[in-house]
Structure 1
Amino acid sequence: MVRIRPCSVPDCHDKVSRRYHIPTDKVIRDIWLQRIGNPKLSETEEKNIKYYVVCANHFHSKCIQANGILLSNSLPSLKLKKNTDTAMLSSFLEVQKDITMITPEKVRDAIKRTSEPTRLSPIEELTVSKPKKIYPAKRLFGIENAPSTSKGNVALSHLNEEYDEGFYKVNHSSNEDTVKEVVESRTLGKCNSNEGMLTLVGVKRHSLLSPHAKTLYLAANKQLRTANRVNKPVSTKKKELS
């Protein structure tokens, strides 16, 4: 004779109805235990709870298939003793609050809500700002370390004006003096009082000057070389020979 396990629902003495084991899924199992309301189960080790059963009298007919098999995610909902154990209510209240239905379909939806992590907004709804391309700041050069114009985006006309005024105090857009007048009146000055600077800087940078200022530079440089030859002191050795 087959021994029938007793129903775990308190005060249920049915001995003929089909039995269903308490599920092992933690979410479903906790709801079963809360609804069964059997204090003995709350003291049972978790690994042994699966051996306890509930009879078919406590399930809705929609939860049981024609062949007598209980649908997954079904919950006991009929002929249950009202749970007065406040300690037990507090243990399963969170789950019970979320799941208040008895049909398997609704139970599956409730479990899905409690087990799935919070979803983020779809990627297409996110606004992603493309980082702006940052260009290195342009370096400002002084007269001594100005770059060559063979490479770069600086307009040559701008450099002409800058070098004209920077080296020779000549503004070619407003200076109306002729080359001869500029040379003879020595209006072709320099910011630096060192006369050697004219030749040193001029030789290196005169290609950056405007045509007008370049003409003035060449004329003044020629005059300077001529004056140096004329004023060159005669060597002592030549004087002695004479």
Structure 2
Amino acid sequence: MKKRFFITGTDTDVGKTYITVGLLGAAKRAGLRSLGLKPIAAGADWVDGVLRNEDALLIQGASSVSLPYEQINPVVLEPAIAPHLAAIQANKLVTASRLEGYLKGALLTPHDFALVEGAGGWRVPLNDRELLSDLAKSMGLPVVMVVNMKLGCLNHALLTAEAIIRDGLSLAGWVANAGQDTMPCYQENLASLSGLLSAPLLGAMSWHQDQHSAEQEFDQLLSAFLD
């Protein structure tokens, strides 16, 4: 049975790609046919005459299923600004239905485990009428929320979870992600959020673990995703 999830975050730069890439690596070690997709990315560099987003390249490299970059990241925009503004600057119309078509095409590739990573937070605009959450709704995938454990994260996490559930989607769980600076009262905040959210805490990760420890943690996190 295929396992597919939409990875969102409480904001931008919360560690969505770190979690996505780590999970894809764990899936590869487990012998699963895994693929990661990032339908839209703003912030890219020119490489050999084409735009490439660093996060999408990491996702491509971590996937065990080989797909061309254009399928992994079909909409790539150069400036590192809000996607709808980057699209306007590039004179491109980005719609939820178009992104859905790209995703469904890529997901026809045989796989066991797939992650679709969003851009920024849950309510990121795609155009003047649609949000990235509209794409998540149309795909109907269970959602996993990445929470950057820092001051203010409780409010951001609760509001994001509320919006996901209001949109009629399943919040399959959440992942705590710690940065270099330990959050004051980290364990107490983790316990508070665990009690306030209806979805389970799937794992508590850190950007700054050594590779061996990180791989062990991601192997355990993958098990929580597959249960």
TM-score (normalised: structure 2): 0.20
Higher normalized contact order (CA 8 Å, seq sep 6+, divided by chain length): 2
TM-score by length of 1: 0.19
More strand per residue: 1 or 2?
A: 2
Higher Rg of the two aligned structures:
1
